Amino acid sequence: MGTNITLKSTFDGFELQAWHAPHQDARRGGLVLIQEIFGVTDHIRELAEGFAFDGYEVIAPGFYDRLEPGFAADYSPEAIALGLRYSNETPWDQVAGDLQAAIDLLGPKGPVHVAGYCWGGAATWLAACRCEGLSSASGFYGRRISELKDETPRCPTILHFGKSDGSIPPDRVEEIRQRHPDLPVYLYEAGHGFFSDRRADYDPDSARLARLRTLQLFHRTSGVRSEE
C-alpha cells in the first residue's frame, strides 16, 4: 500500500504532498504519475498501485496543494469546474518545478518515466520538454499540449488520443503530428478519459492497448537494470 510523502519543489521550495507507491517484486524503475484535473483521487492511487505491481516505484504529486491541500474531487459539474479553475491557476513553470522534485527523488535509484492523463497528459509533455533525468514519457489525451506544441521532448515520448474526444478536435492532434512528425501519436476508437473506469468514456480495450504501449516504452527506454 502507498503512503503520503512530502516533495520540495525546485520552482519555489514549496512543500507539497505526493502519493508514494513502492514497487512490488523486482524494481523496473521509477514513475511520476500525473493527475487529471480532479487531483490525487482514489483512481490515481489505484493506477499508482497497478504500476507498482508492474515493478515501478510511483510518485503522484499533489499539484494543487498551494490552492487546496489534499484536493481530490468527484466527477460532478461543480467539481469539474473547480478542477478546471485550479488547473488554470497552476502555471506551467511551477508544475515543471514540482515534477522535477519527484524526478530527483526517484532518479538515484534508476531510470525514471512519466505518465499522465487529461491535464496530466499536457503536464507529461511539459516534463518531457523541460525536466532533467527522464527516460521516457507517455501522455494521455492532453488537451493543453497545444499550448506547448512548439516545445520539443528531450526523451522518447508517446501520446494517446481518442478519435471521438469532443474536447480535443482532430485538427489539434494533427498540429502536434505536423510539428513533431517522428513522435508516435496513437488514436483509439474512444472518447476523452478512455483510460479511467470512473468516466463515461471508459473503453477497456483502448485502455489495455494504451497501457501495453506505455509499459513497452518504459521497458525499451530503461537502459541498464535498476537496483532491486
Q: Which positions are annotated as active-site residues?
A: 118, 165, 192
Cell numbers at 55, concatenated: 515493478
Distance (Å, whole) CA 184 – CA 57: 25
Helix 92-106, helix 119-130: angle, nearest 10: 70
Give the closest residue to 5 by CA, choosing from 49, 62, 55: 62
Rounded to 5 degrees, what angle do the CA atoms 66, 50, 61 make? Answer: 10
Residue 82 is which amino acid?
L
Q: Which residues pair with 5 in a beta bridge?
A: 18
Give the closest residue to 161 by CA, choosing from 150, 173, 144: 173
Give Cα 125 to chain centroid, integer Å: 9
| For the chain, counts of helices (H) and of strands (E) | 6, 8
Q: Which residues pair with 56 in a beta bridge?
A: 29
